[in-house]
């Protein structure tokens, strides 16, 4: 049912990532190290990690729990800064930015999809999708139009006024994906997006990602599920805070 | 984020936790209503004191012996000396000496037990002159008041207040009856008309007995010197000449007492106005005290807001993390929580104001006491509620703004 509604691939919001696939670097990690200092305990979460992600790529970052993939996700998502090394988004080094500048990058360049959906309970589906636009400078009309178009695109045109507790898990995750897309981000960053879904809904969400990829979106999925990872066009494996050589 | 969106978000959050918001507001509501009602009670009491004192008699000055302004040495306080005399009073009532003074009434007083048959009643007995009646703006219920012939002969006649007459004689006619006053039989010649409707503040105006001052001095109260009086009431010819009457009485008494330096005066002249301000200052002190206690309850309400906001920040850590991930800056988060606190304060203040106004309308009929809440008090109470909530919202809001997005998102 989700696949059906996504088949019509003509909505402009999804098709605006007009890139020469595989050429331009969107994300570049150069010798990234992250050390956590918990009291007297020093914990090295990432050691000299370097890789690139190109515009329009669909990449899965996988590894067992404790491998450092969550840390990597936080850095890529600009939720945290590395201890050393450089992280460039579209050629701009974000690894030394302050909290305010990071908030702006997250708002404009990153679209998050979480395992727990993380929708706000008091808000309707539409208001949840509008939320990232509230933190930028957008008119009320613009916010409404863009959010409605995206809810239609993920097949939830009939559920605009529903609150999260009136939606199924699959529907909630589709609202969350619409929310991730609403600012037109350079990167969709999904953290275990199917972790809380049954196989049918998981399949629908992954199909949606395929469609987004096909329309030119850059997607990074962090997962420990090899089935999910296999849908991506490239897999980056991480173990004990280090990159595993690609096969 | 615009202020309008911020307010809308805050209102949504407040509505979402409706029960908790109402309980939080309750502290503010009680604080504001308490402040308004206590201030209203104080204002009502002041208005009542003013009207009661005004009813005592218009254009009135009271001369008391002694001086309250002591500059050097040990001086008797107000009313402690016996420097005023009957001749002072008669000198002041001379229109050649003091044209602005219409009449004067010297007064001595004491507590005596009045006995009639088996009934007895202790009251204040005043010795004065016939002019007392007009100076005090009193009228007679029946009989007559003191006459100058009573004064000259020092006759044993007595005029009773309405309450005193009622206590001694009940429904019987008091006129012409003989009352034993401190062992001296006196004939009741008149009963004063009651002044008040019998409320507590005016009842003592109806519980008194009047005798000729000469009788009081020589036979009844036995003052130290037979010529001295406890106070002299002065009535000016009109309200406009009150200050002229004050000047005339002051300079005449200084001259009669042979005092050259006005700061050494052995008497004090008080106007009705100064009585009003003295009484008002007492009740405004009381109002300030009660208002202070009520303000403490508002403060407690503010602490309640802080408490709930801290709980709210902890409970909504994940929401804060999500908002930050979606691009909310720390200052936006801080403003959001401050907006929630001030909405709680504004709503609590408005409800508290409404409760206060309802109290003003319905309480007086229950407690038999006037409540007057000025509009400015209502407005400033609501402002105070908002500011208190804002102030107590600062810490929780700062905590929310400081949360790291990663830790916040991870929390369950």
* Residue A224 neighbours by CB distance under 10 Å: 15
Q: Which of B1, B404, B405 sits opposite A134 (nearest CB)?
A: B1
Which positions in chain B touch A98 (Cβ < 8 Å)?
none
Q: Which of B16, B319, B330 sits opposite A99 (nearest CB)?
A: B330
Q: Which residues pair with residue B173 across a beta bridge?
A: none
Instruction: Report d(CA B301, CA B297) in Å as an integer.
Output: 6
pLDDT at A78 over 50: yes
Listed in sequence order, the residues at least 6 apart from B327 whose beta carbon sits closer than 8 Å to its beta carbon are A103, A104, A106, A107, A108, A132, A135, A136, A183
Segment A226-239 mean pLDDT:
92
Listed in sequence order, the residues at least 6 apart from B222 whose beta carbon sits closer than 8 Å to its beta carbon are none
Supply the pLDDT for residue B2: 77
Question: Which stretch of DSSP H or E encloses residue A29?
Answer: strand A25-38
Nearest partner of A197 among A176, A218, A179, A220, judged by Cα: A176
pLDDT at B48 over 70: yes
pLDDT at B43 over 90: no
Q: Which of B15, B329, B406 sits opposite A103 (nearest CB)?
A: B329
* Residue B109 neighbours by CB distance under 10 Å: 19
Domain spans in chain A, listed from the N-terminal domain onward: 2-14+56-80+98-243
Which positions in chain A touch B12 (Cβ < 8 Å)?
122-123
Instruction: Report d(CA A71, CA A64) in Å as an integer.
Output: 13
Sign of the alpha-carbon torsion through B57, B60, B62, B67: positive
Segment B19-29 mean pLDDT:
90
Question: Which stretch of DSSP H or E encloses residue B355?
Answer: helix B330-367
Taking CB atoms and an 8 Å limit, are A118 and B332 in contact across chains?
Answer: no
Greatest alpha-carbon pair distance for chain A in Å reads 56
* Residue A156 neighbours by CB distance under 10 Å: 23
pLDDT at B158 over 80: yes
Query: Which pLDDT band holds residue B278 (cuts at 50, 70, 90)?
Result: confident
Supply the pLDDT for residue B55: 64
Count of pairs with CB atoms under 8 A, one residue in A, one in B: 59
Residue A210 DSSP one-character state: H
Give per-residue pLDDT as tens, B108-121.
888 888 998 888 88
**Total residues found in chain A within this entry:** 247
Q: Which of B9, B318, B327 sits opposite A118 (nearest CB)?
A: B318
Query: Which pLDDT band holds residue B230 (cuts at 50, 70, 90)?
Result: confident
Provide the mean pLDDT of chain B.
83
Nearest partner of B359 among B51, B29, B16, B65, judged by Cα: B29
Supply the pLDDT for residue B268: 85
pLDDT at B227 over 80: no
Taking CB atoms and an 8 Å limit, are B328 and A135 in contact across chains?
Answer: yes
To the nearest whole angstrom, how far is the Cα of A247 from the nearest Cα of chain B? 32
Both ends of chain A: CA-CA distance in Å? 36
Supply the pLDDT for residue B196: 63
% of chain A beyond a pLDDT of 90: 68
In chain B, the residue whose alpha carbon lies closest to the alpha carbon of A135 is B1
Taking CB atoms and an 8 Å limit, are B325 and A104 in contact across chains?
Answer: no
Q: Which residues pair with residue A140 across a beta bridge?
A: none
Query: Which pLDDT band holds residue A7 (cuts at 50, 70, 90)?
Result: very low
To the nearest whole angstrom, how far is the Cα of A217 from the nearest Cα of chain B? 19
Q: Which of B1, B16, B406 sits opposite A135 (nearest CB)?
A: B1
pLDDT at B216 over 50: yes
Determine the residue among A99, A110, A183, A191 to mutate to test chain B binding: the one whose Cβ has the most chain B Cβ atoms within 10 Å.
Answer: A99
Assigned CATH class of A2-14+56-80+98-243: alpha beta
**Total residues found in chain B within this entry:** 412
Question: Which stretch of DSSP H or E encloses residue B254?
Answer: helix B242-256
Taking CB atoms and an 8 Å limit, are A132 and B326 in contact across chains?
Answer: yes
Give per-residue pLDDT as tens, A87-101.
999 888 998 889 899
């Amino acid at each position: 049912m989700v696949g059906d509604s996504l088949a019509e691939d003509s909505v402009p919001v999804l098709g605006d990532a007009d890139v020469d696939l595989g050429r331009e670097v969107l994300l570049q990690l150069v010798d990234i190290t992250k050390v956590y200092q918990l009291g007297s305990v020093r914990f090295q979460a990432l050691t000299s990690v370097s890789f690139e992600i190109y515009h329009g790529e669909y990449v899965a970052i996988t590894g067992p729990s404790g491998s450092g993939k969550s840390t990597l996700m936080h850095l890529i998502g600009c939720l945290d800064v590395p201890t050393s090394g450089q992280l460039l988004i579209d050629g701009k080094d974000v690894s030394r930015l302050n909290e305010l500048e990071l908030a702006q990058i997250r708002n404009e360049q990153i679209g998050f999809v979480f395992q727990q959906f993380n929708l706000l309970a008091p808000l309707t589906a539409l208001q949840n999708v509008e939320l990232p636009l509230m933190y930028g400078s957008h008119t009320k009309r613009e916010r409404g139009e863009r959010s409605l178009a995206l809810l239609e695109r993920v097949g939830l045109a009939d559920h605009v006024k529903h609150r999260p507790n009136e939606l199924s898990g699959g529907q909630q995750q589709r609202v969350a994906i619409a929310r991730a897309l609403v600012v037109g981000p350079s990167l969709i960053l999904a953290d275990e997006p199917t972790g809380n879904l049954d196989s049918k809904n998981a399949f629908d969400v992954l199909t949606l990602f395929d469609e987004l990829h096909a329309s030119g979106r850059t997607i990074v999925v962090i997962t420990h599920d090899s089935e999910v990872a296999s849908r991506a066009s490239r897999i980056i494996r991480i173990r004990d805070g280090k990159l595993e050589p690609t096969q | 984020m615009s202020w309008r969106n911020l307010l809308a978000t805050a209102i949504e959050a407040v509505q979402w936790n409706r029960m908790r918001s109402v309980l939080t507001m309750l502290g503010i509501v009680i604080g504001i209503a308490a402040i308004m009602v206590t201030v209203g009670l104080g204002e009502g009491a002041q208005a009542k004191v003013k009207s009661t004192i005004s009813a005592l008699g218009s254009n009135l000055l009271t001369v008391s012996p002694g001086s309250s302004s002591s500059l050097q040495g040990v001086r008797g306080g107000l009313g402690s000396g016996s420097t005023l005399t009957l001749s002072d009073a008669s000198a002041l009532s001379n229109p050649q000496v003091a044209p602005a003074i219409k009449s004067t009434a010297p007064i001595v007083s004491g507590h005596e037990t009045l006995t009639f048959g088996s009934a007895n009643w202790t009251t204040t007995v005043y010795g004065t002159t016939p002019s007392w009646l007009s100076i005090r703006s009193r009228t007679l219920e029946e009989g007559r008041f003191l006459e100058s012939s009573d004064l000259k002969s020092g006759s044993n006649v007595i005029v009773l207040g309405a309450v005193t007459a009622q206590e001694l004689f009940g429904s019987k006619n008091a006129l012409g009856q003989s009352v034993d006053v401190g062992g001296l039989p006196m004939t009741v010649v008149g009963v004063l008309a009651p002044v008040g409707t019998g409320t507590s503040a005016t009842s003592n105006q109806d519980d008194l007995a009047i005798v000729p001052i000469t009788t009081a001095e020589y036979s009844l109260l036995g003052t130290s010197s037979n010529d001295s009086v406890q106070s002299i009431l002065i009535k000016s010819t009109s309200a406009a000449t009150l200050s002229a009457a004050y000047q005339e009485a002051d300079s005449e008494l200084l001259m009669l007492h042979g005092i050259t330096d006005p700061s050494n005066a052995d008497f004090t002249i008080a106007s009705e106005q100064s009585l009003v301000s003295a009484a008002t200052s007492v009740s405004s002190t009381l109002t300030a005290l009660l208002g202070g206690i009520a303000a403490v309850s508002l403060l407690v309400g503010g602490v309640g807001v802080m408490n709930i906001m801290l709980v709210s920040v902890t409970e909504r850590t994940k929401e804060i993390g999500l908002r930050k991930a979606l691009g909310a800056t720390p200052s936006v988060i801080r403003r959001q929580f401050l907006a929630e606190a001030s909405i709680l304060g504004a709503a609590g203040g408005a409800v508290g104001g409404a409760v206060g106004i309802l109290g003003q309308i319905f309480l007086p009929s229950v407690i038999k006491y006037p409540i007057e809440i000025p509009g400015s008090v209502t407005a400033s109470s609501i402002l105070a509620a908002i500011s208190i909530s804002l102030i107590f919202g600062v810490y929780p809001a700062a905590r929310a703004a400081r949360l790291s997005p990663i830790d916040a998102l991870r929390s369950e």
